[in-house]
């Protein structure tokens, strides 16, 4: 399996779904993002282990997507798309 060419996508977490359903402007901006950009945001949102950090990421995601940001700032991207992540993915 070639990870670089794989269409790897994270599932949208429940807390993000709830926020998107409750905020129409955010939902509109979210749907304007490419699938890859949405995946980057989801990976960035779900990567923290501490609940308080994850909650802070959710707040920042809302603010930045509404401000027109396409990807999380200062983040190298979804590590699951890299060759080194092969061991974490199921065939």
Assigned domain for 88 exists: no
Assigned domain for 64 exists: yes
Assigned domain for 56 exists: yes
Does the structure show a pLDDT above 60 at 7?
Answer: no
Assigned domain for 52 exists: yes
Assigned domain for 76 exists: no
- Check residues 49 and 7 and name the one with the higher pLDDT: 49
Assigned domain for 81 exists: no
pTM for the predicted model, two decimal places:
0.79
Q: Which pLDDT does position 78 carry in this prediction? A: 77
Query: Which structural domain, as residue segments, surrounds residue 38?
Result: 10-71
51 — phi, psi (to 5°)?
-60, -35
Assigned domain for 29 exists: yes
Contact 39, 75 (CB under 8 A): no
Does the structure show a pLDDT above 70 at 8?
Answer: no
Domain count, the chain: 1
Rounded to whole angstroms, how far apart are CA atoms 78 and 73? 12
């Amino acid at each position: 399996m070639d990870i670089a060419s794989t269409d790897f996508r994270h599932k949208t977490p429940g807390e993000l779904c709830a926020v998107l359903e409750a905020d129409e402007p955010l939902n509109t901006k979210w749907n304007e993002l490419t699938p890859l950009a949405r995946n980057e945001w989801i990976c960035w949102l779900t990567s923290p282990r501490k609940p308080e950090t994850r909650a802070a990421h959710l707040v920042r995601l809302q603010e930045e997507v509404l401000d027109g940001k396409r990807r999380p700032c200062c983040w190298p991207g979804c590590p699951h798309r890299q060759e080194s992540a092969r061991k974490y993915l199921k065939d």
